[in-house]
Structure formats: structure tokens, C-alpha cells
Structure 1
Amino acid sequence: MPLPHPTTPSGAADLPRPEHPRPQFVRDAWLNLNGTWQFEIDRADTGLERGLRERPLADRITVPFCPESELSGIGETDFLEAVWYRRTVTVPAEWTGSRVLLHFGAVDHDTTVWADGVEVARHRGGFTPFTADLGEVARPGAELTLVVRARDSRHGVQARGKQATWYANTHCHYTRTTGIWQTVWLEAVPRAAALKRPRITPDLASGSFFLELPLTANPPGHRVRAVLSDERGEVVTATSRADLDLAPRLVLPLPEDRRRVWSPADPHLYDLTLELLDADGTVVDAARSYAGLRSVSLRGKKLLLNGEPVFQRLVLDQGYYPDGLMTAPSDAALVRDIELGLAAGFNGARLHQKVFEERFLHHADRLGYLVWGEFGDWGCEVGVRDDNQRPDASFVTQWLEVLERDHSHPSIVGWCPLNETYQHLHDRLTVLDDVTRGMFLATKQADPTRPVIDASGYAHRVPETDVYDSHCYEQDPAEFAKLMAGLAEDRPYVNAAPDGRPWSVPYAGQPYFCSEFGGIWWDPEAAAAAGDERDVSWGYGERPRTEDEFTERFAGLTGVLLDDPDMFGYCYTQLTDVFQERNGVYRFDRSEKVDVAPLRRAQLRVAAYEDTP
């Protein structure tokens, strides 16, 4: 039977971010380790030599918020070469006989973990989860001391997204994140054999779900079982031997009268129970999940959802918060961001330059919000300077971790491994070409069911990329229309290098969209004050003088793309202001900056793309 949840510890109601961080693979036996940890800044990264691993630390921090954030209780925004965490936890006594796993949602950037002085994990990459098997170190009913060191060198090569590499925030560079910034938690799993994270793939054509259930081992006589349910009860059950393959495969065919397609109009989710049974039929491991039945396909210039053209009215969402930075202050804040996008007339988002925490995807699944999954590597380049986001093998490694985590979320309708890469050496291939192709091929191998943009904007380097796009911040709707007009003749707008030569391989008739535009610099407070400077209020183009002028420009720019029958969607920059970048539909604190009703009316009409065969 499933292991019981440990007794709720004293003060658990006050834990920050108490909800389960992995909503598509939930066991009952888990313990949230958010809250107060010992903490110390190690500015010269000499802490190991100075004994920080062995002694109590000087400060206190609130996990899972990074030390640069207000919510952490630290609020130190200077460069932090390394930081240390320490926490003592009692392993629940009822976990006797189980393996104990220690999970980290994300730690930026280079992490080492010790448990009772024993090194149990190392991980490189600031956006993706990792797990430490505590083995014999964790003894049920006993105290366990956890120590974490996170290194985040200012000059080290790493994928940072929009984190500033100068001291201060400027333009579209934002306050850095160092150390733990997503939930830390313990989980108990069976020792002999246990379920690993499933891969759920919908197949709308057959009305089925294909399910891969990886296992830690294959004892004789064991079986796996999956039960799919809806609001009327059990829909279908499937079983398979679990003693032959490390990842048994199950097919869950739905009866025709129980097939309900997931879409923005009806984001229906099926409940899914996963079980591992021993030779006697006893359930030795179990977890809860869910699934959505939908398809994504390509047809000429069409990108179809469930076989139909659905114009993607996306908004750029960078997922920053004034008090939590890359970490949402609450689960409700994640829901609120989706609700704000929907209220303004968008039906989805590019989750931009950050791997969003999985709970956001869970809410997008529930609310029917279309999203493109992205990696945080903005401006990756070679040939000009020793850039901190210079491409290397860690990009591919961490991106594969993203694909593994997020494969089963129906709200994800496309992948974007790279964004605005620079290819300055026109006369030869570089490591950037290798990494671009490597990330593209890795994506197609890991998930052949979704379209992939090899690199959004600037340098398309893979001829067979599924989707082609461009970024264009022209502010005059008439001029914008001229730039976008060539798509009908297979000559779409393409971003060019400063010397005028193309960065990209030629367009080959793929589905195309303008995946960044708008960015209208609207700051009502600054508009009322003379002499405003862009380093404290920044955006694209000339700032509108009034809200009506902003609304008119928004409607004009979106109208150009809505009226193009060959354009499958767009992505407007952006959902909210972020620090000094004042081009959001909403303010940074999520308060209303403009009346969104006219923006919604401007978007919610039948797009020409949806009205053509």
C-alpha cells in the first residue's frame, strides 16, 4: 500500500510554498523542507577550506526564495560567488524500510549536497531539478543534517536567462538569482523496486494514451497497473509485466463515449493512478497523475491543435516577481498570472528565458493556457567576446532535463531551446551551430510529438526546423504591416545581422509567426514627468502620450498579424513590467496599468488564419 504521509510538523501551516511541487507524479509519503535554513554568503568561494561544511552558519534564510529576494529575508543583490545552506530534519519514523530521496526543484547554479557529512549529489545548471538518493545515510526516526553549497560565478560560463551580468539592472537585464529558488523536499520510495516519473503521450488519432512507466528495478512477478478516470469514474485500466523492461509500456484506449479532447475551450484532464504490484498482487508503490488528450500537428504553413487551426495569441511571460524574483510568492500568484493573460485576451504564453516551476504548467493544464517551453540562454553567441552565455555541453544536458520533466503536460504545444542567438562568423560553423543542432536533435529525439523552433529570432541554423519565426519591434502599425507582408510569397521578415547579411538558413515554407513584437513603452507615471531616463523606465519605441494612444497602437500591431492568413500566431511583449522594463500590459506588482478590455476586444475576433482551409 502507499506509504502514509508523515505527521504534519509543528508550524507546517506557515511553510512558504507548502504545495506539492511535482503535481504530475504525487506520492503520499513526502515532507516539504521549505522554511528557515541556516545560511551564509561565501564571497570568495573559500567556505570549504574555512570549515563551513562542518559548522553552524551565521545567518538565516527562508527557502525556497533566493538570497537576492526580499522574501528570503536576506535581500543581498550584489554578486554572490557562493552561498551555503544548513538544515537539520527528522526523517519520519514511519518511513522505516524505505529509500529516502532528497529533491531540489532548482538551485542556481553549481550545487553540491552533503547529508551527515557524506556527499550525496552534485548538479550543474540553475533551471532544472535534481535528486539525491540518501541511501543508508537517512535513518527513519533519526535526525539528518543537510548542507548545500551553491556556486554562481560572475564570470563562469552558464545559461543565465535574463540575469544581469553587471551590478545593476539595466534595459532587459534583471536581478540575479543564486542558490535554492524552488521547493526542497524529502520523499520515501520502496527499496526493492519503485516507480519513476511516467511519460504520458496522448494519441488523439486512436483516442488513446501511451504510457511509459520507468522503474528502478524489475523483480520477478511484478506488474504495473494504470487506471484512467474521469468525473464519471474509471474509464480504462491497463496492466503489464514489470519484470522484463526498465520502462514498461502501457496503452490506455478510451471508449468513444468517454473521449474528451483537451483544448483552451475545454481543458479537460483525466485522473491517472499508477501502481506497482508484487507477485502476490499487493501494491508496493503508487502515485497520482493526470493526462490531457490533444494533438499538435503541421500542415504546410499551418500549426494545428487537435487537427484545427487555433490562432495562438501568446504573451511573453518572464516569470519575475518584485518580492520573490524568479520564485512566485505563492501558488496563487502563478494562477493569477495566467488569469491576467486570459483577461487581456491572450490564450497562452511564451515562458520566456526561464524554466518555469512545474506548478505553473499544472495550472496552465487546468486552465487551458497554451505555452511554449523555453530555456534561459538569451543572447548566446561566439565570435565577439567571452560571453557568459557562451554555448557548451551543459546547455544540451540541462535542456534534456527540462524535456524529461515536462513531457507529459498537455498545455505545452511547442519547444524553444534557444532564443536570439548571434552567429557573427558567417564564413564557418562554430560551437554555437553544434549546440543549436544538438539541442534541436535532442528535442526531436526526446519528444517527437511537438514542434520545435531551433532558435527563436535572429539565427535559425537548422534547415529542418519545424517552425520559423522573427522578432520585430517596429512601433508604427503601417510600417510593421510592410515588414510582415512577404510571408504570402514565402519571403517572410527575417532578422538580419548588423552588417545586413542573414544570420539564418533560408525560410523553407514552415509555419511562421512573429514571436516577439509590441513591447510598447508605456509608463503612465513617467509620462506625466518631464526628463524621464530610459535606465529607470525602459521599453521599445517612442512612449505613447496617453493610454488611448497605447491602446490604438496595440490594436494596430496585433491587427496586422490577426489579418494575415499565413500567420499561425504571435507573441506580444509582454505580460508585466519587470523592474525598469516598463512595456508590460500590467505593472510589475500585477496591478492594472491600462484598461485591458479594449486589448481583449482587439484580440478576440476570428483571425484570418482560423478562417482559411
Structure 2
Amino acid sequence: MNLSHIVVSVPAMSTLQNPGSDIPKPEYPRPQLQRPDWLNLNGTWQFEIDSGDSGLHRGLLDRDLTGEITVPFAPETELSGIGNTDYLEVVWYRRSVEVPADWSGRRVLLHFGAVDHDTTVWVNGQEVGRHRGGFSSFTFEISAALRQAQGATATIVVRARDPREAIQARGKQSLNFFNQDCHYTRTTGIWQTVWLEAVPQDYIKSLKITPQLASNSFLVETALSANRTNSSVKITISDQDGTVAEQTVRADLDLAPVTQLSMTADRVRPWSPEDPHLYDVVVELVSGDDSVDRVTSYAGLRSVSLDGKQIKINGKPVFQRLVLDQGYWPESLMTSPSDAALVRDIELSLAAGFNGARLHQKVFEERFYYHADRLGYLVWGEFGDWGVGGYGPVEDHQQPTQSVITQWLEVVSRDYNHPSLIGWCPTNETWQPLMDKITVLDDVTRGMFLATKAADHSRPVLDASGYSHRVPETDVYDSHDYEQEPDKFAANQAGLAQDKPYTNDWNGRTISLPYTGQPYFVSEFGGIWWNPDRTNVQGTDRNESWGYGDRVVDEEGFQERFAGLTAALLDDPNMFGYCYTQLTDVFQEENGIYRFDRSEKLDVSRVRAAQLRPAAYEK
């Protein structure tokens, strides 16, 4: 793969926010479905911690709250203005917003990028919706609450419950008071952008855009709020030279009209890491001769296919040099401090020689995928399933909540259109020996896999990253291998040539169904423990410094180990890729290519050179 177009130097932070904006993260949060009439609600909200979950009884719904917070940053973060890292099991938010006068007669939608974990929302004293899940986006219509109040003021009250002992998907958030090992400071409440949007009475609810490279076309499914007589959907795809394809389809028959838009061969420009070309897409809902609703979007024409042990992009094997990206920042935890910070992480990764990332134990802000789309950065989407329980050797009371699959389907639906997203991984490091009876792990793993396949036929699905593979027809097979000696690591992985790849076990017991020849990669390795500022870590508490294996003594030791480990995988013609742990240090976990604050930690050019040697897989 040719990565010569990527700048080697570490880029400086750039500003991508709207000029003159005085609110945090002012960018339009949903690039795949844009309208002009929207109102960003980030900024100052009233805030109060409700330690006993008695706030509803104490009247918090009807009065001003005692403090203030900067949304969308969680109260545990510095940028929120609070920085309280204690257990915050229930928090309340309140803000009054003047709805623009020219929105009169239209529906008003209230969008939340993400709120952790169980959310109830009231507008003008009326409950408008509930949502469970800390990683997925959700929307409530508040038109009725505005009408009943007979005014244009929306007083929004949000209660977020995040009980520490609950069985819930929490990703890498620590259950202990302190951070430890690979568990980090918790996130509570609102942590992604909140915004209002005006839509017509009949409107376009969502778009599902599927690239079909084999036929030089896009399949566009337009979900509508209603199907009126004499209505139609008009879709226009264009590039820098003008219209590429255009089609109009009746909208009075099917709730979600499906349209195939074909283009001539001379206008075909596939999306790839080397050439991340994006087409502009405009979709209009038309009634008679009038345009009722209009949204803008974009799409990339690319394919992902399986051929034996290969995963091909646009029909060609592309070795996936992935890095584990956990998406944490010192000052803002799971929320990026700015849109520029999202861009910078991609640029830092590319500068180090990676061509993509496994987005680990967290659902990233949608704008991350937008930047990955335009920069040609490959990503695997993952759910933050740690914490749902039911995965250990003794299940006891640990039962995953039924909302896990619901939340994951919300994620798959939201991110479906992004061409940079080339695979799904619903769960991570599930571990449980194969038992005589079917277990909760079997049910959950298969349920998550089947739900993903039902929602998306266009991408491969890995049933679980590392450890317990319990779906025999999983599209991809993998392992996690943190062996630090390159020779031993190569020996571990040598069996793939005989269809006997390295697999994880649990205390020597088998935890996976057999490998059956799928594309295979090591989806976690390395994790080389090194901090150049520490001269001695002997006896260091694990919540202060932690990494995998023996700590290297200097940068030369790091570089030699990194080059040796990556060479073992680059030289394997049956290995379609790898994922190195990890892009940055995260709190006490000191195994990143960069420091936690994204500053330089080592000679990145050597890391890049080690990775950009030719891969046997692509020859």
C-alpha cells in the first residue's frame, strides 16, 4: 500500500471551529444528514448532583439548579468547569432556549449525541422521552411540549442516571474510585453535542446509502415520516464537475423508498485510502412541484469483500496497519476537546505509518468518521460492551441487560453511511470456557452478530475481538497476543499457514469454536510499556504506571521491539492486518506511540519506517 502521500512530520493543532463562535464544539454534529435550520445547545447549563436519586421528589424538575456546567463535557472533566471524579450516580441539567420565530409551524427535534447512561428528558415540565445507553445517539420531538406551553421558550431538563453497580455497557470506565490498569476515569451525563433542529411536518428521517462498486452505483434508502399522495423523493449525486446521477422515485407507496443511482464509467472514482474521493448527495422530499424537505449528505464509492483469508477493498488486498484508538483526552475524557482534536489524532496516526484504527470500547463522535472519510483513514467500529456482565466463568447474577443489542443497533444505524468504516466488532475480549450448556455469552455474542448482519450486509463482522469466538460463521477470526519477545511472538502466530492460528484461552481451557479459514489478524498486540520520563517503575502502583510485559529500558529497546513485532505480522502472507496497542498513553496506561497530551514521546519516523516496509499479504 502506498502511503507516500501522508506527511511524516507531527502536525500542529489547527482550528476547525466556526470563526467567532463562543460555544464549545460549534460544528454541525451530523455531517451525513444536514439541514440549515439548527441550534447548537452546547455551552452553559444549570447543573446539580443528585446523590440520593431523590431529585424528582425534591422538586428539581421545577426549580433552578444550584450549579453550572459547560456542555458537552462530562462533570468529571476539567473542561466542564466541575472536575468532580467521585461517583456521580445521578445528575441533572436545566436550560431555557428561545426557539427561533421562523420555526413556527414546523416540528422541532431535540438531539443528543450521547448521554451516559439512563436518560429522561422533560421540556416545559412534560416528559418527552427516555433513553438507555451511554454510547448511542438519540432524538426526541418536542413540538407538543412547545405547543402546550403556548410559547417559543423550551425549558429543557435532563436527568442522567449512571449507577456504579449496575450491569451496563461502560467500556473502559473504572468501577473503582481510582484508575487502574486499562480502566479510566468515569463519564457521567451529557458528553456529546446537544442540538435543536427544525423540520417540516413531513420530513426525511434518515438516509441509508450503500455503495455498489460492481455496478458503479449507489443504493439510497430514504426513510420518511409519512407517505403523502403525489409526493416523491429526488436524489442528486454530484462531484466537482457537476451532476453524476439523478433519480426521482414515488414517495407515496413505500415508507422508505429505495433508489439505485448509476453513473457512467467516466464519472466513477472509487474511495480509497490513497484517494478518499467523496460525492455530494442532495435528497429532496417533493410534494407536487414544491420541495418540502431538503437534506445534504455525501458518499464514497468503495467495496469491502472477502476472498479466502483476504479482506479486499475495491477488489484489492490492502494490509490494514491499524492502531488501537481509545479516544480519551486528559482535559475532557471521552469527549474530544475540539473538532480539531479529532483531526489531529487521525493525522498523528497517519504520520506514524498506520492507515487506520480500531475504535476501541467506545462509540466515537460522528464527526470523527466524517474526518476519517475525507482523509482516507480505515476504521473498525466497536461497542463499549465491557461491564454488561455474563462473560466470566461463573455467571451468577451477572446478566447483560436486554438493551445491549438495542444500543448497538442504534450505533450501526447512525454510522452505516461512512465509507471509512470497513468492519464491525460488537464485543471485545469476552472470555468463558466452552461449557456443556449454552450460556448467556453464547446468546449475547450470537445476538449481537446476527443483529449487525441484519442491519448491514455490506461489511464484515467480527463476532468478538480476541478471546471467545462463539459464532461459527463469523466473517473474521482474530486473537490478542501481548507476547513481548519478537521471536516468541512470531512462533505464536506461525500456525496460521496450516490453518491452526494462535487463539486465546482461559487458564488453558478452550474458549472458542474452531477456526474455519476466515480472514485472520492479530487485533491487539504490542502495548509496549515505556515512559521516557520514568527512570524506575519497580514497585510502582498499577494506578500510576502500567503496560504489557516487561518495561523497556530506553527508546532503542522500544524501537527494536516494535520493529520486531510488526515484522512478524508484515511478513506473514496469510495475515490481512494487525492492530497495535495503542495510539496514545491513557492516564496510567503508558504504552502509546504518543503521550496522553499528544506530544512527541519518541522518534515517530522510525515507527513509520518499521511499518511501511512491504507486507507479504499485498504481494
Q: TM-score, normalised by structure 1?
A: 0.96
2:337 is matched with: 329
Counterpart AA for 2:175 = T
1:210 aligns with 2:219: yes
1:354 is matched with: 362
Task: Find the aligned partners of 2:397 and 2:81 in 1 and give their Cα distance.
Answer: 28
1:464 is matched with: 473
Deviates more, 1:376-385 or 1:544-553: 376-385
1:135 Cα offset (Å)? 2.4
Q: 1:184 aligns with which of 194, 200, 214?
A: 194
Deviates more, 1:451-460 or 1:127-136: 127-136
2:278 is matched with: 269
Deviates more, 1:61-70 or 1:133-142: 133-142
Partner of 1:514, secondary structure, is strand
Partner of 1:198, secondary structure, is strand
1:227 aligns with 2:236: yes
1:164 aligns with 2:185: no
1:132 Cα offset (Å)? 0.8
2:209 is matched with: 200
Task: Find the aligned partners of 1:35 and 1:392 in 2 and give their Cα distance.
Answer: 33
Deviates more, 1:533-542 or 1:332-341: 533-542
Q: 2:287 aligns with which of 259, 270, 278?
A: 278
Partner of 1:571, secondary structure, is strand
Task: Find the aligned partners of 1:425 and 1:508 in 2 and give their Cα distance.
Answer: 17
2:569 is matched with: 561
Q: 1:113 aligns with which of 111, 121, 125?
A: 121
1:44 aligns with 2:52: yes
2:324 is matched with: 316
1:425 Cα offset (Å)? 6.0
1:333 Cα offset (Å)? 0.1
1:8-157 equivalence runs, <5 A: 13-138=21-146, 142-157=152-167
Contact 2:391/2:430, CA 8 A, preserved across alignment: no
Counterpart AA for 1:410 = P
1:426 aligns with 2:426: no
1:385 Cα offset (Å)? 6.0
Partner of 1:186, secondary structure, is strand
1:389 Cα offset (Å)? 7.5
Partner of 2:144, secondary structure, is coil
Deviations 1:374-419 (A, max 9, x none): 0001374345567997423211000000111011000000000000
Cα gap change, 1:529/1:111 in structure 2, threshold over 3 Å: closer, same or farther? closer
Task: Find the aligned partners of 1:496 and 1:22 in 2 and give their Cα distance.
Answer: 41
Task: Find the aligned partners of 1:265 and 1:421 in 2 and give their Cα distance.
Answer: 35
1:533 Cα offset (Å)? 4.0
1:532 Cα offset (Å)? 3.9
Q: 1:523 aligns with which of 490, 509, 531?
A: 531
Task: Find the aligned partners of 2:352 and 2:421 in 1 and give their Cα distance.
Answer: 20
Contact 2:433/2:510, CA 8 A, preserved across alignment: no
1:529 Cα offset (Å)? 7.0
Task: Find the aligned partners of 2:458 and 2:25 in 1 and give their Cα distance.
Answer: 32
Task: Find the aligned partners of 2:454 and 2:296 in 1 and give their Cα distance.
Answer: 27
Deviations 1:502-540 (A, max 9, x none): 100000000000000000001111136775444311101
1:388-407 equivalence runs, <5 A: 390-407=399-416
Contact 1:377/1:389, CA 8 A, preserved across alignment: no
1:6 is matched with: none
Task: Find the aligned partners of 1:431 and 1:104 in 2 and give their Cα distance.
Answer: 31
1:495 is matched with: 504
1:12 Cα offset (Å)? 7.3
Deviations 1:116-167 (A, max 9, x none): 0000010000000111111222259721100000000011111000000011
1:298 is matched with: 306
Counterpart AA for 1:98 = R
1:381 aligns with 2:400: no
Counterpart AA for 2:274 = A
Cα gap change, 1:304/1:396 in structure 2, threshold over 3 Å: closer, same or farther? same
1:581 Cα offset (Å)? 0.3
Task: Find the aligned partners of 1:42 and 1:75 in 2 and give their Cα distance.
Answer: 16
Higher relative contact order (CA 8 A, sep 6+): 2
Structure 1 residue runs of 5 or longer lacking an equivalent are 1-10
1:234 Cα offset (Å)? 1.2
Cα gap change, 1:389/1:272 in structure 2, threshold over 3 Å: closer, same or farther? farther
1:473 is matched with: 482
Contact 2:178/2:185, CA 8 A, preserved across alignment: yes
Task: Find the aligned partners of 1:17 and 1:396 in 2 and give their Cα distance.
Answer: 29
Contact 1:471/1:495, CA 8 A, preserved across alignment: yes
1:44 Cα offset (Å)? 1.2
Q: 1:366 aligns with which of 357, 374, 387?
A: 374
Cα gap change, 1:416/1:96 in structure 2, threshold over 3 Å: closer, same or farther? same
Task: Find the aligned partners of 2:396 and 2:161 in 1 and give their Cα distance.
Answer: 18
Deviates more, 1:509-518 or 1:234-243: 234-243
Counterpart AA for 2:544 = V
Task: Find the aligned partners of 2:253 and 2:481 in 1 and give their Cα distance.
Answer: 53
1:253 is matched with: 262
Partner of 1:464, secondary structure, is coil
Contact 2:128/2:145, CA 8 A, preserved across alignment: no
Task: Find the aligned partners of 2:188 and 2:229 in 1 and give their Cα distance.
Answer: 45
1:3 is matched with: none
Counterpart AA for 1:119 = E
Task: Find the aligned partners of 2:47 and 2:269 in 1 and give their Cα distance.
Answer: 49
Contact 2:116/2:162, CA 8 A, preserved across alignment: yes
1:428 Cα offset (Å)? 1.5
Contact 2:378/2:421, CA 8 A, preserved across alignment: yes
Task: Find the aligned partners of 2:321 and 2:79 in 1 and give their Cα distance.
Answer: 33
1:582 Cα offset (Å)? 0.2
RMSD: 1.5
Deviations 1:157-198 (A, max 9, x none): 11000000011100000000000000000000111x100110
Counterpart AA for 1:77 = T
Task: Find the aligned partners of 1:508 and 1:83 in 2 and give their Cα distance.
Answer: 48
1:4 is matched with: none
Counterpart AA for 1:80 = L
Counterpart AA for 2:26 = P
1:431 Cα offset (Å)? 1.5
1:541 Cα offset (Å)? 1.1
2:5 is matched with: none
Contact 1:381/1:421, CA 8 A, preserved across alignment: no
Task: Find the aligned partners of 1:461 and 1:474 in 2 and give their Cα distance.
Answer: 24
Identity of paired residues, percent? Answer: 67
Task: Find the aligned partners of 1:335 and 1:388 in 2 and give their Cα distance.
Answer: 42
Counterpart AA for 1:365 = D
1:447 aligns with 2:456: yes
Contact 1:101/1:189, CA 8 A, preserved across alignment: yes
Task: Find the aligned partners of 1:266 and 1:471 in 2 and give their Cα distance.
Answer: 31
Partner of 1:138, secondary structure, is helix
1:92 Cα offset (Å)? 0.4
Partner of 1:392, secondary structure, is coil
Cα gap change, 1:343/1:141 in structure 2, threshold over 3 Å: closer, same or farther? farther
2:7 is matched with: none
Task: Find the aligned partners of 2:601 and 2:475 in 1 and give their Cα distance.
Answer: 37
Partner of 1:293, secondary structure, is coil
Contact 1:64/1:180, CA 8 A, preserved across alignment: yes
1:582 is matched with: 590
1:423 Cα offset (Å)? 1.6
Structure 2 residue runs of 5 or longer lacking an equivalent are 1-18
Deviates more, 1:226-235 or 1:208-217: 226-235
